[in-house]
Amino acid sequence: MTDHLLTRRTALVLFSVVVVTWGLNWTVTKFLVLSVSPLWSSAIRSALATVTLLVVLLARRQLIVPARGDWPVVLSVATLHMGAFSALIAFGLQLVPVGRSIVLGYTTPLWVAPAAWLLLREPITPARLGGIALGLAGLMVMFNPLAFDWASRDALVGNGLLLLAALCWAANIVYLRRHRWIATPFQLVFWQALLASLILTTLAFLCEGPPPAIVWTRELVAAFLFAGICGTALAHWAMALINRSLPATTTSLGLLATPVMGVILSALLLGETVSLALVVAMALILGGIAVGTFTGGTPAQLSRAVRRPVVRSP
């Protein structure tokens, strides 16, 4: 098989499916971590994604052995995003509602700008400062003492883990910006998933012991298959096609619908309450991301900034 460009209509339809899939994936992950321990659920999901990606790459004749220059990015994505981000989100979802979790997880771009300024010497423009300010205002709304239970250990730990997950993803994005790519991101994603699976499985054995006696219901099997195959592997493959067929600005703006979709689906499927504070916070955070991303640099800078990380959204 060879790569080809999709028509705009087909790409937009496929993109809509990916956004809904990633939004739903948070609710599915919540179900998984309430049924299986966080590290083992992350390891199983990652293993399913690895096998699926291997099949897809073999079918497309795109399976390669990464060049030496690409191994650092394989290690970066496997440890910081597919490993640390996934595990921390799994632990956080045990303690925090899905709606709040997904909004905190998507604060990632707010931390990228100051990190890129500090480590990559990228300028922080007034627009980026404004975007960061909007995002931080959203976080202040979420952690308003009148709305947040500061006396709850579970709330503090859960929210802290979710913010740490966002920082791990941000660190990975900063590295992606400076990496000199040899292979395409999609050609490397199998090796990233494979390494992440090995890391997560090792951590699961060390921290949680041997695999638990899982009660395999049809719902649990379906949830793992959806999270591993649809929510991870096929979504990555679809985004590789979408990124080649749509402008970077379109895909990056469209991905802001993912947390909105996640909040809506968690309310519909889990009966979670969508408070006014959560809606305001989400609007401020996503608005800050949009302002900081799309008015904060030249078109070339924006393409480098948003195009690579899009492929690996959760």
**Which one, of 71, 127, 81, 148, lies nearest residue 108 by Cα?**
81
Contact 212, 40 (CB under 8 A): yes
State what percent of residues in the chain have pLDDT above 90.
Answer: 54
Q: At a CB cut-off of 8 Å and minimum separation 6, what does 32 contact?
A: 41, 45, 90, 220, 223, 224, 227
The model's confidence at residue 95, banded by pLDDT at 50, 70 and 90, is very high
Comparison of pLDDT for 287 and 252, the residue scoring more? 287
Whether the predicted pLDDT of 109 surpasses 90: no
What is the rounded CA–CA span in Å between residue 314 and residue 312? 6
Domain boundaries, the chain: 8-310
Give the long-range contacts of residues 273-276, CB within 8 A, separation 24 or more: 274/99, 275/147
pLDDT of residue 314: 55
pLDDT of 291: 83
Residue 5: pLDDT above 90?
Answer: no
Mean pLDDT for the chain overall? 87
Report the distance separating Cα 4 and Cα 16, nearest Å.
19
pLDDT computed for residue 54 by the predictor: 96
- Under a CB-based contact definition with an 8 Å cutoff, are residues 8 and 243 in contact? no
| Nearest Cα residue to 166 out of 154, 174, 155 | 174
Contact 258, 106 (CB under 8 A): yes
The more confident residue out of 247 and 307 is: 247
Q: Is 100 within 8 Å of 267 (Cβ atoms)?
A: no
157-185 residue pLDDT tens: 999 999 999 999 999 988 888 888 898 88
The number of beta carbons lying within 10 Å of the beta carbon of residue 150 is: 8
At 63, the amino acid letter reads L
Helices and strands in the chain, H and E counts: 15, 0
pLDDT digits (tens, 9 = 90+) for 6-64: 888 898 999 999 999 999 999 999 999 999 999 999 999 999 999 999 999 999 898 99
How many angstroms separate the CA atoms of 252 and 248, rounded? 6
pLDDT cut 70: percent of the chain above it: 91
Query: Which pLDDT score is estimated for 3?
Result: 54
pLDDT of the residue at 295: 61
Mean pLDDT confidence for 138-150? 83
pLDDT tens readout for residues 262-311: 999 999 999 998 988 899 999 999 998 888 766 654 433 434 443 344 34
Whether this model's pTM surpasses 0.75: yes
Contact in structure between 173 and 106 (CB atoms under 8 Å): no
Report residue 11 as tokens. 């790409």
Tell me which of 73 and 214 has the higher pLDDT.
73
Tokens for 206?
Answer: 């060390």
Say if residues 24 and 265 touch (Cβ distance below 8 Å). Answer: yes
Residue with the larger pLDDT of the pair 53 and 128: 53
pLDDT at 301 (0 to 100) = 42
Characterise 211 by phi-psi region: left (phi > 0), alpha (psi -120 to 50), beta (else).
beta
CA–CA dist 165, 158 (Å, integer): 11
Q: Output the pLDDT for position 4.
A: 64
